[in-house]
Amino acid sequence: MKPAAFDYVVADSIDAAVTALAAAGGEAKIIAGGQSLVPMLNFRLLRPAILVDINRIPGLAFIEETTDAINVGALARHHRLETSPVIAERLSVLAEAMRHVAHLAIRNRGTIGGSLSHGDPAAELPMLALLLDADLDIASPRGRRTVAAKDFFLGALTVDLAADEMLTRIVFPKLRPSTGWGFAEVARRSGDFALAAVAATLTVAEGVIKEARIAMTGVDETAKRAGEAEAMLAGQVLTPGLIDDAIAAVRAGVTPATDLHASSDYRRHLVGVLAGRALAAAWARARGEDP
């Protein structure tokens, strides 16, 4: 199908974009990479009166390192995250996750701001934003605000963004020293959305886990953290028995849907297996071993 007719506005600044959104009174949508929006327009799941194109706003595709964080502009494309030396060195788990996002052609266009704002329940970037405790900077004609990733994803395709708001910057705090990471995903075919995926970090000092983080996608209405499993790992040495306990807690904490691709039971089983693999890899890396 073809999309319903719409007007098209090219914004040349953040202020121009949010002014155009506000003027449309809820009838406008931002277009960034268009990789999720255009299919929804074509299927007429969305019929915005106006598209506000943010692609020509200068200076919004940055990846910059500060003392404490890696800051990423909303227009940074998936492929830039995948290939950025800064991301590879400082946030290797993010670089690894990006290789699992769709196909190269889609990664060349899709943006981090678009993926987070879209909030697909099986997308990788919301999971990584949760794992890395990212902060999201948001602009509107009313000013600027910052939302923690843990408060941003409200439900399937639903995020904490008003109709006149635009995500502008994502701040990823740097990981602490002696932090290892693991990532594991299963999709039916390369480039498909995940049936389930898990990303984990373990910060290890004096032989025990100081902080555990586990984030999952594909197994609930939104990506989420596995809080109970994280709590049981803190202060412990990672043994096979503890991995089994963490896997059980991960499985108990999700409510996967059944769809054409997999049953709820299969996804619940799978997310546990993936959590076990991600934790084992994180533990090895934190101790300087090859996972």
Ligand X SMILES: Cc1cc2nc3c(=O)[nH]c(=O)nc-3n(C[C@H](O)[C@H](O)[C@H](O)COP(=O)(O)OP(=O)(O)OC[C@H]3O[C@@H](n4cnc5c(N)ncnc54)[C@H](O)[C@@H]3O)c2cc1C
56 CB burial (10 A radius; 0-12, 13-18, 19+): exposed
Binding of ligand X by 182 (CB under 6 A): no
**Contact pick of 14, 18, 41, 74 for ligand X (by CB under 6 A):** 74
**Contact pick of 24, 34, 79, 82 for ligand X (by CB under 6 A):** 34
Tell me whether residue 221 or residue 245 sits nearer to ligand X (CB atom). Answer: 221
CB of 178 to ligand X, least distance (A): 29
- The helix (run of H) or strand (run of E) holding residue 227 is helix 227-233
The strand ranges marked E within the chain are 7-10, 28-31, 50-53, 63-65, 69-73, 135-140, 143-148, 153-155, 158-159, 166-173, 179-186, 196-205, 208-217, 224-225
Binding of ligand X by 169 (CB under 6 A): no
32 DSSP 8-state letter: S
Q: At what angle do helices 240-252 and 264-286 cross, to 10 degrees?
A: 140
Binding of ligand X by 121 (CB under 6 A): no
Binding of ligand X by 110 (CB under 6 A): yes
Binding of ligand X by 57 (CB under 6 A): no
CB of 38 to ligand X, least distance (A): 6
**Contact pick of 153, 183, 193, 283 for ligand X (by CB under 6 A):** 193
Binding of ligand X by 114 (CB under 6 A): yes
State how far the Cα of 252 lies from the Cα of 215, in Å rounded to an integer. 14
Choose the stretch contacting ligand X; rule: CB under 6 A; options: 80-88, 119-127, 176-184, 218-226: 119-127
